[in-house]
C-alpha cells in the first residue's frame, strides 16, 4: 500500500462499536400508528412553525415510516412553499410533524 493510502486511512471515520448508531436511532423511534391532529392541535402547530427560523435549535417529534421519532437539532432550512423543514440533514414534511418545542418558541406544550 502506498504512503498516500496509509495517510488517507488515518483520517477515515472510525466507529469502535459497529452498528451502535443504528441501535440508538431505532431506540429513538416510537412505533405507533399515525395520529390525526385535531383542529386545535393543527392550529397551535402552525403557530409554532411560523416562529421557527433557520439556525434555531428545536426539539421535534415527527412521523417516519412506522412510528414517531423524537430528535433535537439546528434548523438548517425551512421552506413554507414546499412545506418542508430540515433539521441538520433530515428533511421533514410539515404534514409529518406532531410537535415542536424550543426555548425561542412562545407556545411550548401541546396537549395530546
Q: Cα–Cα distance between 110 and 112 in angstroms, integer?
A: 6
Q: What is the pLDDT along the chain (112 residues), one digit of tens a residue?
A: 566 666 656 665 656 666 666 666 665 566 778 889 999 999 999 999 999 999 999 999 999 888 888 999 999 999 999 999 999 889 999 999 999 999 988 875 555 5
Whether pTM exceeds 0.75: no
CATH of the domain at 43: 2.30.30.520
Strand-pairing partners, residue 70, are: 61
Q: Is the residue at 40 inside a domain?
A: yes
Each residue of 52-74: pLDDT tens digit?
Answer: 999 999 999 999 888 888 999 99
Q: Is the residue at 33 inside a domain?
A: yes
How many structural domains is the chain composed of?
A: 1
Q: Is the residue at 68 inside a domain?
A: yes
Cα angle value 50/56/60 (rounded, 5°): 75
Domain that holds residue 74: 3-101
Place of cell 466507529: 15
Q: Is the residue at 92 inside a domain?
A: yes
Q: Is the residue at 35 inside a domain?
A: yes
Q: Is the residue at 111 inside a domain?
A: no
Q: Is the residue at 110 inside a domain?
A: no
Amino acid at each position: 500500500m502506498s504512503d498516500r493510502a496509509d495517510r488517507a486511512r488515518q483520517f477515515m471515520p472510525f466507529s469502535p462499536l459497529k452498528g451502535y448508531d443504528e441501535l440508538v436511532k431505532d431506540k429513538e423511534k416510537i412505533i405507533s400508528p399515525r395520529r390525526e391532529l385535531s383542529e386545535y392541535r393543527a392550529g397551535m402547530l402552525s403557530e409554532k412553525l411560523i416562529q421557527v427560523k433557520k439556525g434555531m435549535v428545536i426539539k421535534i417529534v415527527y412521523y417516519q415510516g412506522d412510528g414517531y421519532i423524537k430528535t433535537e437539532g439546528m434548523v438548517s432550512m425551512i421552506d413554507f412553499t414546499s412545506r418542508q423543514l430540515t433539521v441538520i440533514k433530515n428533511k421533514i414534511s410539515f404534514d409529518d410533524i406532531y410537535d415542536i418545542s424550543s426555548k425561542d418558541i412562545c407556545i411550548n406544550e401541546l396537549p395530546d
